[in-house]
Chain A
């Protein structure tokens, strides 16, 4: 008999909550082995400088200091970090890898790059001693602006001779011909500036070398512990079995906590082995603004060719992409931008090229959305402008260009970040848009409410945008499911978890397969001693890839239960019912056995078993999708602007989302709401301001503005469901969806609120702010007595 899904799709509250709510969950900074030493890094105050001399003498003399290290002290351990994601096989691709180094040797390339490391009795003393270190720098002109950096002038990596990190061109169809035959060609420059992930928990590493066991344990705030385990073992010359990496509870990841091989991740374990004492480094919030990777600097020169009905004939885009000082993450991010730009639309011809540029700024790697924001921003803005110029309604132009529901799988003919052709697995876009319009009251607002409000002198506007998201990429994840003698079920998987609810969603999947209560399923994630293989939690892939691996392992255990129970009762497997933590013969009262009892019997201590018998009710399975699953959604908002102060009030916010089968709606809602909050931050509050020396001007949470409960509105959510055919559960990822289209939405809605296009002003950049809106449009709203 097949399992009736009882938990899949249900609003199951989370198994992990009790530990977190009572303050008893283990985070990396809570790891305090005896004899612990504390680390502080001395970081470069300059964006670009040569290191002439480092004097650590005074630091070493300070009471409580155990050691001080510079690059020279690392000897042969000093090596640039690995290439984390190789560039995909695209013809004509150019990629110049320059990866970060453990401690800067001859040159520093961004403010905050680590130069020396102090190990002391307390973090307080380590910071005192770091301030004692004298470094003689020869400052160099900084490469800050990516356009100027690409054009010439000072060079971030001397041996490269230029600042060009990469060049990629991907095309489909004949854009030039499309443009020649077009009714309209619209060309714009669109700019997206930098932001930071600002997880509430900063990064941290605790490393402990157990000399007697010959074993290194590293507690690390990483989203990819398995990669870190393998990499550290190789670097340190240890067997992988000698290295255990634990990603315990992580206080938010959002991308920058991926398997980065950050300098601190690489150096702290080395120091712990060398000193034979556990060492802890916890990034402080100031360090976080320099030492943790950032995202988003891109400049697009884009054009769209359309026929007179607003049908897209083609898109051409050339963009610059700011990689920061190093580019260990390959091309994932700009390729996401390149691919996501196509959106849910039929784009018959596409000519897209980008140039990566090294700058003297912190490293750029994926942060929630990972380049997808930019693509959505460019395409949605172009469509808004096209709609205006062709006098077509904003929603209607999108509808006219949607890929029809019968056209899936839909091949976009270019290569995605997972090396596979960009093929959308499934989708049905019009119902998503239509539901959004209905929920926000689009027609009524435009026809009735907005004219009335404008007559009253109010500046209220509406926006609606559509996006797709490539999610759930491979290569694979694995899981082991085991029924214990207690009757409880344990699940282990290699992904780390940072608040996504994996302890619950994976438990739901297994509870259905194995017929137990969801509270009786104990999930372990992020401990390489518990599960050996895996990639990590990123690219909205945890639920899709690991979730399906968990499902496969659950199925295998279910089969074992059926076989064991059938043997026990001497009946046919199809007569067995597994439910409520026990196996029974259908319709025969009294013929039941607890799963724990079956598990015990499956692990006999004496006697003989049949040849080929595997002990226990346990199975390990792996799942790798052939390619990513494509989710979609639409966001809409009504916003009011005070045109004199350019402050905003969001009156209504709607999200309709299609991520295929939903494991847990409660968790999904949280993911979307949190994503939108980050999107709002990105669109209107958060911006990293660098001066022309590469100094960050707002490196504090007082000036880097993470939205508060007063800035994020209540959201109304709607769902559609188009299951993915690429995995048995039909899941698509959801982690990044909330954040992706918000910039495009803000630009459109704010333009509408202030009626800007009619007055000749367009919003072509993100982030925005009151100051920026006033610069763009303030002159239109002058009152006597004010400027």
Chain B
């Protein structure tokens, strides 16, 4: 279990990193936390010809508030996010989810941006960023652009990033007033990828009726998954149990779980229903629903 040969370059500047990536394209991979990439390389499932290590680029290591958004740089590690007061205050859904991601040693290295760019549909964090309506900042030698999280994930280990682009920042907007969110998952052991997980966000209007909802799932399909119909079923409703159950039932059929050695497709759907119901109950309560 030793990696195949590759070239390693410790980037000295963002421009250098981007130029190397432009030159080597898909043959090169950026190395941030490496907590998914290096195991894949040790199994020789991934054999990039070049690793461009962005860890020296300290300018990418930040978590900062800007107006009503939280900006998370490409090198912000889970550990920092877990301990950041702004994350805890403004993005409690992210804070609630992080302890479910692997173990302390992994969280000391792993980065949110690396997780997004790796785009494993089983991972918790794409679901969270989708549920929060985040967007991704991509840079290349050609310029920069924003990609909405909904358009970012293209499938298992596939994103909208072009071969010369780096995901440099994730922007999470504050949730509107009277919003509530919850993350729940069922995994075999703590820290494992979930058999099923859901990130739920709801926003209530002045009259207490739901005016917006997002339900995002992990391990629920070949790609990262928002359940639009299930969320829509809540809009305009007051948080009565009946509507929650309707949404849960819709979510079960809307997702497209693949099944694995730990959970059959049927069990995954069942868990999605259970977790949707429970997460919505919590999220609505947190939003201040009566």
Contacts and interface: CB of A to CB of B under 8 A. Distances in A.
Contacts of A645: 186, 271, 274
Nearest to A707: B189
B66 interface: no
Contacts of B274: 644-645, 783, 786
Given A128-B4, A775-B264, A785-B277, A705 B189 contact: yes
Interface stretch (B26-34, B124-132, B240-248): B240-248
Contacts of B264: 771, 775
A700 to B, nearest CB: 8
B195 interface: yes
B266 A703 contact: no
Given A771-B195, A784-B245, A786-B270, A286 B4 contact: no
B190 interface: yes
A90 interface: no
Contacts of A770: 186, 188, 195, 263, 267
A276 to B, nearest CB: 25
A710 B190 CA distance: 7
B103 to A, nearest CB: 9
A128 B186 CA distance: 39
Contacts of A707: 189
Nearest to A774: B267
A647 interface: yes
A536 B249 CA distance: 59
Contacts of B5: 124, 128
Contact of A769 (B188, B190, B244, B246): B188
A771 B188 CA distance: 10
Interface in A283-304: 284-286
Interface string B165-207: 0000000000000000000001011111101000000000000
Interface string A91-129: 000000000000000000000000000000001100110
A689 B261 contact: yes
A774 B266 CA distance: 10
Contact of A703 (B190, B191, B261): B261
A689 B261 CA distance: 7
A703 B263 CA distance: 12
B43 interface: yes
B270 A127 contact: no
B2 interface: yes
Contacts of B1: 127, 284-286
A705 B2 contact: no
A702 interface: yes
Contact of B192 (A127, A647, A702, A778): A702
A786 B266 contact: no
A787 B189 contact: no
Nearest to B271: A645
A711 interface: yes
A708 interface: yes
B240 to A, nearest CB: 12
Contacts of A644: 274
B190 A708 contact: yes
Contacts of B252: 786-787
A286 B43 contact: yes
From DSSP, what is the main secondary structure of chain A's interface residues? loop
Interface in A762-786: 769-771, 774-775, 778, 783-786
Contacts of A687: 261
B186 A697 contact: no
A171 interface: no
A446 interface: no
Given A703-B261, A787-B252, A708 B189 contact: yes
A518 to B, nearest CB: 37
Nearest to B280: A785
A161 B43 CA distance: 38
A700 B262 CA distance: 13
A251 B195 CA distance: 31
Nearest to B269: A787
A128 B191 CA distance: 32
A778 B271 CA distance: 11
Q: How big is the B interface, by class? A: 20 to 34
A465 B83 CA distance: 46
Contacts of B195: 770-771
B227 to A, nearest CB: 14
B273 interface: yes
B58 interface: no
A131 interface: yes
A208 B56 CA distance: 43
From B192, B264, B267, B277, name the one whose CB has the most chain A CB atoms within 10 angstroms.
Answer: B267
Contact of A711 (B189, B245, B247, B270): B189
Contacts of B191: 708
A124 B188 contact: no
A771 B192 contact: no
Contacts of B266: 787
A774 B2 contact: no
Interface string B69-101: 000000000000000000000000000000000
Contacts of B64: none
B145 interface: no
A90 B132 CA distance: 69
A710 B186 CA distance: 14
Contacts of B249: 785-786
B189 A710 contact: yes
B24 interface: no
B44 interface: yes
Given A128-B4, A705-B189, A778-B270, A698 B261 contact: yes
Contacts of A700: 43
Interface string B1-26: 11111000000000000000000000
B122 to A, nearest CB: 10
A358 interface: no
Interface in B100-145: none
A685 interface: yes
Contact of B2 (A123, A708, A787): A123
A243 to B, nearest CB: 30
A770 B245 CA distance: 22
Contacts of A775: 264, 267
Contacts of A128: 4-5
A703 B43 CA distance: 14
Contacts of B246: 785
Contact of A786 (B2, B44, B277): B277
Nearest to A784: B245
Contacts of A710: 189-190
From A705, A786, A787, name the one whose CB has the most chain B CB atoms within 10 angstroms.
Answer: A786
A125 B244 CA distance: 57
Contacts of B186: 645, 647, 770
Contacts of A702: 192-193
19 contacts: A123-B2, A124-B5, A127-B1, A127-B4, A645-B271, A685-B188, A705-B189, A705-B192, A707-B189, A708-B191, A710-B189, A771-B263, A774-B267, A774-B270, A775-B267, A785-B245, A785-B246, A785-B273, A786-B249
8 closest A-B pairs by beta carbon, nearest first, are A785-B245, A786-B273, A284-B1, A785-B248, A787-B270, A689-B261, A124-B2, A644-B274
Given A770-B263, A774-B267, 17 more contacts: A131-B44, A647-B186, A685-B189, A708-B190, A710-B189, A711-B189, A770-B195, A771-B264, A783-B274, A783-B277, A785-B244, A785-B246, A785-B249, A786-B248, A786-B277, A787-B252, A787-B266
